[in-house]
Chains A and B, each alone.
Chain A
Amino acid sequence: MAEFRLRIGFAKTGAALWLSHLELVRAMERCVRRSGLPYAISQGFNPHMKHSFSAALPVGTASLGEYMDVELVSLVKPAEALMALRAVEHYCLPIHTAEYAQKDEASLQVAFNKASYCIELADMKHDEYADLLKRLLALTEITVLKKGKPKTYDLNHYLVDAWASPGNHTALHLSLLSRPEGSLRPEVILHAAADSDYEISITSITRTALEQA
């Protein structure tokens, strides 16, 4: 049976930012079921919808660009698929795009290995904020505890870009790579840059884009 990999682009916003990855997956599965799209079912002991998701977001992190691949058993025009999904989407998980992935295209987790984040900070003075950015760019490595053991990351391998919004002293933007050996959360880098010199208070973190590096 021919299978078609529909790549659904959606956002995680509003109240949905408090969902765990599992809850997000379940909500999106239900959206696909409601849409009536002819999704493929795994043949096995416990039949289920064949799908995969882009890298899991932590609870509390919003996103403007998440992806879900769903295998369809018959071809539905992308515009029609998008319409069907939008008709039954949850308003906190709005669907932006629906396009077919190429047959030989890598899985979502591999294909989208560059994530950009916008971190909003409360109450920072202009010079403190500029200093924080400078210190962040000067960082070379970060040590985090993984399952109780310290693990050191070479920041050059992960941090692609860091910039500030012009004329705005409350938001920082970071672009980070995820690698087979691991990935770093933006708030970890920020806290490392602030060290113990700054009290930083993060008001929100949003994944603004997922791309191929």
Chain B
Amino acid sequence: MINSQSQSLWPHIEPLLPRVEKPSRYIGSEYCTSSARAQAASGNTGGGADCPSNNWAGLDGGGSPVIDAHPRGQLTTPVPSSEHLDVALIYPDIYDIGASNQALVILYDLACRLPGVGAERAFLPWLDMAAVLRERELPLCSLESARPLKDFDLLGITLPHELVATNLCELFDLAHIPLLATGRGEDLPLVIGGGPVANNPAPLSGFFDAFCIGEGEEAFADALMALARAKRLNKSRPERLRILADLPGFYVPSIKQDKVQRQIVQAFANYPVVIDPILPFVDVSQDRFSVEIFRGCTRGCRFCAAGMVGRPVRERSADVIVQAVTQGLATTGLSEASLNSLSSTDHSQIAQVLRRLAHRYLGSDTKISLPSQRMDSFGVSMAALVCGSQKKGSLTFAPEAGTQRLRDVINKNITEDDILGAICAAYEAGWRRTKLYFMLGLPTETDEDIEAIVELANKAYNAAKDAVEDNERAKVRMSISAAVFVPKAHTPFQFCGQVPQEELNRRVHLLKSARLHKGIDLHWHDPSSSMIEAVFSRGDASLTALGIQAWKLGARFDAWSEQFDLAIWEEAASALGMDLASLAERSLGLEEPLPWDFITGGVSKEFLVREYQHSLAAVLTPDCTRATCGSCGVCNDDVLTEVVAYRG
């Protein structure tokens, strides 16, 4: 059934490397690769101890468990055999973007530890390498053993954003796998998608044999075990799809399913942090040690899909976080650790965590970073804790809207005083640069709201100047960044159409022509790719064909602004008789059946409707970890928001 004798194509790939830019993208062999994980699974590594950091005296003590990777061509993963489920986990963009993706890091670690499963990774090659592979008729291969992806049992692809469709086509085409799931026979891998875009799987459903909906740690592990068993029993492709469809959280487009329950990992707090992630040679994005300090967010911003689908809030404890950071930095040798979440300063023990880490790394060259600041003086004081006297970077805040009315519409729950207070605190604490994020085209937005962005920025700039000593005033800098609102499935704003392109361009122009202080830079996002995002975020199964058509016309790497070309998409749409503008701009009825209604388990549709109605009346819904329950429908006997520290 499965070809387990596939050979490494490395001898054919390596000679091509002088012809491409950054060959290190394609070599794998990073420190701490899957052989280390295989050994970890068999219990060869110690670990568990709070490893000494940059401390010579402590080296003989616990010591960090370090096992080297094997050279390519030797045993990099459990030997592919008829016994093992051969899995490739794929990020559908280049290595530089995908290697540090946390979904990939977590699921790869998990898959490598499962008995009977061998896991590898794969990425999309950049344009130059893709051309060379096509010229030599070489199929796209995995990174670790350089075996063709088409010889694997299973491809797991993470779907990070709505512009991914053309990259999927490119990936399958380079891998010599039919683009459509219906075209794949017994000898080709099953293809499973997951991640943020799987919240509305319909638009990409033609590409996938199955989707894992929600958080993957448990559901995907169950699927791997079930498929490993199915392989041993020599089950056919339809039988394996049936097995997937019967698992909680799996949507199999070829099988009728009335409901699919979104999966969440209730025990997230106790789920182990990956402290020995793969260490890329390449200077990848997010090139630091990451710890997800909590999952979920109950602030309730009405545009935010991550905040709506990620509920409930589940925190890792301060002890777990501090230990993970110290172990992770010691094991990897990275010089920066990042405390990730949707709103990191909302962690109930954040002050303790940051104080302990600041104390530990005082005087070292280790940085602790906090990706998001709460828009108040507390947020600033937390950021100040970990950067010591080094306030060279900039602090980022997201007021999202210029007027109080519109901030209330989106349930941002912050006032102008909060914003100016945070700005003053940041400049008083020593920062000289801040970034303010806004959104254009939010529901109910008027010209007044756009003008208010400029007024707010000018006020903030003046407040910043007043907050610093006279001789520092010339150093005060600020930038504002305006993104375009994209309505997302499973949010209260899913019912709202996107503002038409022409109108968005007019609003961008309005912002550009307003009188900003000279010290403020303005950046804005091109609305045209946001339109494609809007088309896919709320689309149905007919969009798979649109993705294929656009790819055939040459679109790929659409998330790279210099690669994106709206004209291609318009041509593709007209060839299929589709109208992009009407798809993006369509308002949805509150009673109308939606392509993603069958996905249950997150916030209820009643809650989304209620929130939508509240938004139109600019009525706020408070954060349930700090005030009363908003009845979003997530919590039940098995699932509960765990943060209780804030409640009176």
Report which A residues bind B (CB closer than 8 A).
14-16, 18-20, 22-23, 26-27, 29-39, 41, 45-49, 59-60, 74, 76, 84, 87-92
- Kindly list chain A residues whose C-beta atoms are within 8 Å of the C-beta of B69: 90-91
Once the chains are docked, how many angstroms separate the CA of A29 from the CA of B283? 13
- Kindly list chain A residues whose C-beta atoms are within 8 Å of the C-beta of B22: 20
- Kindly list chain B residues whose C-beta atoms are within 8 Å of the C-beta of A37: 56
Interface of chain B residues 67 through 103 with chain A (CB within 8 A): 68-72
Contact A92/B23 with A32-B333, A48-B365 known, Cβ cut-off 8 Å:
no
- Kindly list chain A residues whose C-beta atoms are within 8 Å of the C-beta of B332: 30, 34
Contact A45/B71 with A18-B27, A34-B64, A92-B29 known, Cβ cut-off 8 Å:
no
Once the chains are docked, how many angstroms separate the CA of A16 from the CA of B279? 13
8 closest residue pairs by CB, A with B: A30-B333, A33-B333, A15-B29, A34-B333, A15-B27, A18-B23, A36-B59, A47-B365
Please give the distance in Å from A26's CB to the nearest CB on chain B: 7
Interface of B is mostly: loop
Contact A18/B17 with A31-B333, A37-B56 known, Cβ cut-off 8 Å:
yes
- Kindly list chain A residues whose C-beta atoms are within 8 Å of the C-beta of B28: 15
CB of B335 closer than 8 Å to a CB of A: yes
Q: How many A-B residue pairs have C-beta atoms within 8 angstroms? Tell me.
A: 94
Q: List 24 A-B contacts (CB under 8 A).
A: A18-B24, A18-B27, A20-B24, A22-B283, A23-B24, A23-B281, A27-B31, A32-B333, A34-B64, A34-B331, A39-B54, A41-B363, A41-B364, A45-B390, A47-B364, A47-B365, A47-B390, A49-B365, A59-B23, A60-B17, A60-B23, A87-B63, A87-B66, A88-B64
Contact: B55 with A36, CB < 8 Å? yes
CB of B2 closer than 8 Å to a CB of A: no
- Kindly list chain B residues whose C-beta atoms are within 8 Å of the C-beta of A88: 64, 66, 333
Contact of A84 among B17, B59, B392 (CB under 8 A): B59
CB of B648 closer than 8 Å to a CB of A: no
Interface size range of chain B in the complex: 35 or more
Please give the distance in Å from A104's CB to the nearest CB on chain B: 26
Hey, what's the 0/1 contact readout for B350-367 against A, CB within 8 Å counting as 1? Answer: 000000000000011100
- Kindly list chain B residues whose C-beta atoms are within 8 Å of the C-beta of A47: 364-365, 390
Contact: A89 with B390, CB < 8 Å? no
- Kindly list chain A residues whose C-beta atoms are within 8 Å of the C-beta of B334: 30, 33
Contact of B392 among A35, A45, A91 (CB under 8 A): A45
Q: In the complex, given contacts A14-B71, A30-B333, A45-B390, what are 10 additional A-B residue pairs having Cβ atoms less than 8 angstroms apart? A: A15-B71, A15-B72, A18-B17, A18-B27, A19-B281, A34-B64, A34-B333, A84-B59, A88-B66, A88-B333
Contact: A38 with B54, CB < 8 Å? yes
Once the chains are docked, how many angstroms separate the CA of A112 from the CA of B71? 30
Please give the distance in Å from A65's CB to the nearest CB on chain B: 20
Count chain A CB atoms within 10 A of each CB in B54, B70, B281 and give the residue with the most.
B281
CB of B602 closer than 8 Å to a CB of A: no
Count chain B CB atoms within 10 A of each CB in A36, A38, A46, A90 and give the residue with the most.
A36
Q: Which residue of B lies closest to A33 (CB)?
A: B333
Please give the distance in Å from A116's CB to the nearest CB on chain B: 22
Contact: B29 with A16, CB < 8 Å? yes
